[in-house]
């Protein structure tokens, strides 16, 4: 199927010349196919994918139901527009509201767009209340996307300072600091946007106390609580949303990544009250909620039910943690394992791990054909497909233990 001129070196050369230089040099893998939790390169070499397309390939790489639904939908109707109704969009809205406990939804095409919509909705809500509020609070080290507003909400100067002037009204709370949160909340705050478990920064969960304080302070001040579940949602933590894990109902919730099983789609969800922030004409999307993307997401939800994937994520996460826990000790190679379900961060003890996380990542790739994500010098992030099997977890854990011990 693949043309022979698509060799890794030819692609690397053309990519370096023709793609904008945003990714630097990538892992030396030319991915041309996939099977379950495995990525396959042009020579047929198989890689166990513990990155899962960055939490996107929740069903793995060649789920038969998803493939069949996409083929069928492509024959029926790929796109119409939001000037007309389409049944898949409406059915998906109904099912997502049921699964998340929210009341209304708006579909976009990515995580950043969902969060961009969340910020607009929060400000719009206060305008509709007759008392505009501009301030948006977010956490340090957070990640909310790459558009100008979402990269500004992202509490990492390295991602946004270059693109100044940034939209005004954004400020940052030290991650997990209850006192700073209490001091910052007032009646100028339009919304507080949080990841319950920070993903991009290396899997850092907030405490339950902090999250319930955030909910209470938002209620008291009238600010909207926006929970960004673009990474933690879709069953990854062992509950359909991490909000369910933390027992918190946000005013606004965003989903993307795993939602379409690889087909680009994002969702902005809100309570009936918060959804009043948008009136006709306030927001829109050409592609958002199109039949193909919604059919994909509906099929993902069907497969979750058929395979019990949310519960499976919890069980699989426990199996990973049990296998890796012997590495966590005072003199051991791991300081801690953070996260929930199949959203795991392994914190390396730098003193005992020569070369740090990048070296461990490279060793796993070269020696075992296992793909993991390294963050900074000390963190490995695991976001495997939720269909990963016990055998694959055991194989991966043994390899990781070996790579850590070296």
Task: Using CB under 6 A, list all residues that contact ligand PLP.
Answer: 110-112, 115, 143-145, 195, 199-200, 228, 230-231, 256-257
CA distance 138 to 152: 9
Q: How far is the CB of 253 from ligand PLP (least distance, A)?
A: 12
Q: Is 42 exposed, middle or buried (0-12, 13-18, 19+ CB in 10 A)?
A: middle
CA distance 260 to 275: 23
Closest to ligand PLP by CB, 234 vs 403, is: 234
- Closest CB to ligand PLP belongs to which residue? 111
Q: How far is the CB of 243 from ligand PLP (least distance, A)?
A: 13
Closest to ligand PLP by CB, 149 vs 324, is: 149
Q: How far is the CB of 338 from ligand PLP (least distance, A)?
A: 15
- Which uninterrupted H or E stretch holds 177? none
Closest to ligand PLP by CB, 313 vs 349, is: 313
Q: Which candidate, 345, 320, 316, 348, places its Cα nearest to that of 335?
A: 348
Q: How far is the CB of 87 from ligand PLP (least distance, A)?
A: 25
Closest to ligand PLP by CB, 159 vs 395, is: 159
Q: How far is the CB of 174 from ligand PLP (least distance, A)?
A: 18
CA distance 294 to 265: 8
Closest to ligand PLP by CB, 51 vs 403, is: 51
Q: What angle do CA 206, 217, 106 make, to 5 degrees?
A: 75
Closest to ligand PLP by CB, 111 vs 339, is: 111
Closest to ligand PLP by CB, 199 vs 238, is: 199
CA distances from 359 to 15, 49, 51 (A): 25, 17, 17
CA distance 167 to 127: 18
Q: What angle do CA 124, 130, 134 make, to 5 degrees?
A: 50
What are the φ/ψ torsions at residue 125 (nearest 5 degrees)? -60, -45
Rg (CA), the chain: 21
Closest to ligand PLP by CB, 124 vs 199, is: 199
Closest to ligand PLP by CB, 335 vs 344, is: 344
> In terms of DSSP H, where are the helices of 38-101?
52-55, 64-76, 87-100
CA distance 290 to 80: 7
What are the φ/ψ torsions at residue 91 (nearest 5 degrees)? -65, -40
Tell me if 154 sits within 8 A of 120, measured CB to CB. Answer: no
Tell me if 326 sits within 8 A of 367, measured CB to CB. Answer: no
Q: How far is the CB of 5 from ligand PLP (least distance, A)?
A: 30
Q: How far is the CB of 252 from ligand PLP (least distance, A)?
A: 13
Q: How far is the CB of 220 from ligand PLP (least distance, A)?
A: 26
Q: How far is the CB of 118 from ligand PLP (least distance, A)?
A: 10
The DSSP code sequence of 186-211 is: STTEEEEEE-SEE-TTT-EEPPHHHH
SS3 breakdown of the chain: % helix, strand, coil, rounded to 5? 45, 20, 40
Closest to ligand PLP by CB, 375 vs 404, is: 375
Q: How far is the CB of 148 from ligand PLP (least distance, A)?
A: 13
């Amino acid at each position: 199927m693949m043309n022979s001129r698509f060799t890794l070196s030819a692609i690397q050369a053309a990519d370096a010349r023709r793609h904008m230089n945003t990714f630097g040099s990538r892992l030396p893998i030319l991915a041309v196919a996939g099977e379950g939790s495995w990525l396959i390169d042009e020579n047929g070499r198989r890689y166990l994918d513990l990155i899962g397309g960055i939490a996107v390939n929740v069903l793995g790489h060649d789920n038969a139901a998803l493939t069949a639904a996409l083929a069928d939908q492509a024959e029926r109707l790929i796109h119409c527009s939001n000037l007309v109704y389409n049944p898949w969009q409406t059915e998906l809205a109904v099912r997502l509201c049921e699964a998340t406990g929210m009341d209304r939804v708006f579909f976009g095409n990515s995580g950043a767009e969902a969060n961009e919509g969340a910020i607009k909705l929060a400000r719009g809500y206060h305008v509709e209340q007759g008392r505009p509020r501009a301030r948006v609070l977010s956490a340090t080290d957070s990640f909310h996307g790459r558009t100008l507003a979402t990269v500004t909400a992202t509490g990492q100067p390295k991602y946004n300072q270059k693109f100044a002037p940034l939209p005004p009204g954004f400020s940052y709370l030290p991650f997990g600091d209850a006192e700073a949160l209490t001091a910052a909340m007032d009646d100028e705050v339009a919304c507080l946007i949080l990841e319950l478990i920070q993903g991009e920064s290396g899997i850092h969960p907030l405490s339950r106390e902090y999250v319930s304080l955030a909910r209470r302070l938002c209620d008291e001040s009238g600010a909207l609580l926006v929970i960004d579940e673009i990474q933690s949602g879709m069953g990854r933590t062992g509950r359909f949303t991490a909000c369910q894990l933390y027992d918190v109902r946000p005013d606004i919730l965003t989903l993307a990544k795993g939602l379409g099983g690889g087909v680009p789609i994002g969702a902005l969800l809100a309570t009936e009250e918060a959804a009043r922030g948008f009136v006709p004409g306030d927001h829109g999307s050409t592609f958002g909620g199109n039949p193909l993307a919604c059919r994909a997401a509906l099929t993902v939800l069907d497969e979750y039910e058929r395979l019990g994937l949310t519960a499976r994520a919890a069980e699989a996460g426990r199996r990973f943690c049990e296998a890796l826990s012997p590495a966590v000790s005072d003199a051991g190679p791991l300081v801690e394992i953070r996260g929930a379900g199949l959203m795991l961060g392994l914190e390396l003890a730098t003193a005992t791990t020569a070369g740090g996380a990048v070296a461990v990542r490279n060793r796993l790739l070269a020696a075992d054909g296992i793909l993991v994500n390294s963050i900074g010098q000390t963190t490995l992030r695991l976001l495997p497909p939720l269909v990963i099997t016990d055998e694959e977890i055991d194989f991966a854990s043994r390899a990781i233990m070996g790579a850590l011990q070296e």
